[in-house]
Amino acid sequence: ETGVTQTPRHLVMGMTNKKSLKCEQHLGHNAMYWYKQSAKKPLELMFVYSLEERVENNSVPSRFSPECPNSSHLFLHLHTLQPEDSALYLCASSQDAQPMGGYTFGSGTRLTVV
């Protein structure tokens, strides 16, 4: 257990479904992130939150909607996804949004869109 907990671990959803991914960190960090990891591709940064404010949105389609109600929790709301959105979604946290000290990653949610 790294201190960053993601649920669910696995998710299968149809293209018309709405689901949410949850991330919780117990490290007292101020910044949280969503990354997408597809096979044979580098990790792609999706969203960055610092002190509950979104500070970065890397041209992510609107079918992905993040929410950060407080500095310990981060959600990724999903709707009308496409099969190419199937991937491992990793949540990470860091002390601040300029993490010289690096990230702490969760174990990820393996998403399959059918």
Of 2, 20, 72, 95, the residue at the interface with other proteins (CB under 8 A) is 2
Q: Which residue of 59, 62, 70, 98 would you call a contact of other proteins, by CB under 8 A?
A: 98
Q: Does 107 bind other proteins (CB under 8 A)?
A: yes
Q: Which of 40, 39, 41, 27 is nearest to 92 (CA)?
A: 27
**48: Cβ contacts below 8 Å, ≥ 6 apart:** 31, 32, 33, 54, 55, 56, 57, 97
Q: Which lies closer to other proteins via its Cβ, residue 64 or residue 105?
A: 105
The site string for other proteins over 10-49 (x = CB under 8 A, - otherwise) reads ------------------------------xxxx-x----
Angle CA(83)–CA(88)–CA(93) in degrees, nearest 5?
135
Q: Which of 31, 106, 111, 113 binds other proteins (CB under 8 A)?
A: 106
Give the Cα separation of 56 and 39 in Å (integer): 24
Sequence-distant (6+) residues with CB within 8 A of 93 are 3, 4, 25, 27, 29, 31, 32, 33, 103, 104
Q: How many residues bind other proteins (CB under 8 A)?
A: 20
The nearest distance, CB 8 to other proteins, in angstroms, is 13
Q: What residues make contact with other proteins under the rule CB under 8 A?
A: 2, 4, 9, 40-43, 45, 90, 92, 98-100, 102-103, 105-108, 110
